[in-house]
Structure 1
């Protein structure tokens, strides 16, 4: 018997069917009915030629007689699953080979159907098998996509490691090679100031003082930039910390300045424990409290309040003051490098709030300010309850 092969554009399914049936009349009838239903069918008399076609497809339907003239139907099943694991194989069998069909299902066949074929039953079975093959294909695409994404992430991680190493080299240069000349200049200017008698050369003494102050300012700027650059870089892991102790230690540091300026400091009786890098969150509160002190001005009521609110998944903290306040136009820029208000002369390089923002962001939080000119400011920031990802 010859082999009948047709190429048909499917209207009802995108899953191709390979039909293996040695009886010519049954084969042609099945092929015609299935193609009328929109299936793309290739029909074969024997299993060996069918296997050649199966080798060139992925994720198809195989409708095979379990008793074939040239190869055992179970062997066709085995080789098909080896070549195309995503395919669905339906075995056709007579009553005499029913046990073989059951064995086939146990070995990976999708299902079996008894001869003579009930076409309505076969159509229902094929639709179910098509859905399963589609799921196999979609799952495979998802797995392939995830593998590709993982490879991309691995490449990005390798690049980040490389960039971190480069950053470490830059930080080393800045902290050592750039600061070394400043230290030398500072040392020699100090020595010169000791050699010069102010009464004999006031102008030279003034120049030396300018050099000394310039060196101090440049060194402070470099140190500030290094603090910003090092946020989260080769940092200690996140740990659960007692915020009560952090805030109390900071209050103790500022205690003299608070009393000297007659500023009342208010805080809750109890702060929560939080997941954080202790030194960095210490820096956040220190910078915000220092900022509140320095921009308090000559307000009649001088108060700094530190507080918090708890939500389902994060804590919201604030540092509120009764100081000079911030104009609306300045609220965004104050978190940028080298930006500061000019209403009151304050020592520093304008890095404090930029550092606060970077630290909070590296803790998966947000920072913002609410303020009215002449009425004080409230700096808010959030920290998640779970361990931050950064």
Structure 2
């Protein structure tokens, strides 16, 4: 549940902070730095969960959203900048297999969160070190965008659960997928697209989302 997802990192923050407060002098510099890093990671996890809940609340609203042309290259740049620390910390390799991103109609802030979720998951649950590929193709009249990792893969009987709201899979290394991916599904549903994953144990995973195909207007040669 969401309560557990928030409670667990909060307990970690309180626990490690209490150790330092009780008598910081008993720890060496390396230990203090380690505990502070753990506290920071727990805090970032809580912040991510709260941001996802706020996004979910926004997506659920029935008010109008200003859809428009999305500059996907710029969206990707923003996401990679946001995730720069995670990329560096995990020594992740990010490969973009796209010469020019296709024109897309949607809502850039939502789409940015979808990419951020997919890419951060690929880094966290990918191989060691993570190798992450980004790409796009066209299928059944829609533009599909995907993120492929080099992780251990996901059993077929678990993939259907990934996009279920507030679900937590039993495997420890998959814990945390559910909340973010349920929001991804809601976002893409609102944008008229689809989400999914292709995966098998030992073969990595490819998470994708699709959006209705947008045809670029032709340039008028007569001005």
- TM-score with structure 2 setting the length: 0.68
Question: What is the aligned-residue RMSD (CA, Å)?
Answer: 3.5
Give the drift of 1:354.
Answer: 0.4
Q: Report the counterpart of residue 260 of structure 1 in structure 2.
A: 89
Give me the whole-angstrom Cα distance separating, in 2, the residues matched to 1:329 and 1:373.
11
- Please give the alpha-carbon distance, in whole angstroms, between the structure 2 residues aligned to 1:262 and 1:254: 12
1:344 aligned onto 2:173: yes
- SS of 1:334's equivalent in the other structure is coil
The answer (yes or no) to whether the contact 1:369–1:378 under 8 Å persists in 2 is yes
Question: Pick from 183, 200, 206: which aligns with 1:372?
Answer: 200
| Offset of residue 216 of structure 1 | 9.6
- Give the whole-Å Cα distance in 2 for the aligned partners of 1:303 and 1:218: 26
CA distance, structure 2, for counterparts of residue 219 and residue 379 of structure 1:
23
Structure of greater Rg: 1
5+ residue gaps, structure 2: 1-9, 24-41, 216-223
Over 4 Å off, 4+ runs: 214-223
The unaligned stretches of length 5 or more in structure 1 are 1-185, 200-213
Aligned equivalents of 1:253 and 1:219: distance in 2?
14
Q: Secondary structure at the match of 2:187?
A: helix
**2:72 alignment partner in structure 1:** 243
> Residue 381 of structure 1 aligns with which residue?
209
Q: Is the 8 A contact 1:305 1:319 kept in 2?
A: yes
Counterpart secondary structure, 2:207: strand
Name the residue aligned to 2:101.
Answer: 271
Provide Cα deviations, 1:217-242, integer angstroms capped at 9, x if missing partner.
Answer: 88865553332232162353110011
Counterpart mapping for 1:1-390 below 5 A: 198=22, 223-231=51-59, 233=61, 234-267=63-96, 268-298=98-128, 302-311=130-139, 313-341=141-169, 342-344=171-173, 348=176, 350-386=178-214
Higher relative contact order (CA 8 A, sep 6+): 2
Distance 1:345 1:368, change over 3 A: closer
Shift of the 376–236 alpha-carbon distance from structure 1 to 2, 3 Å rule, reads: same
The alignment covers a number of residue pairs equal to 182
1:294-348 residue CA offsets vs partner (Å, 9 max, x unmatched): 111436xx311111113573211111111121111110111112224424276x5
Output one character per residue of 1:259-301: Cα deviation in whole Å (capped at 9) or x when no partner.
Answer: 33232211112211211111000011110001111111436xx
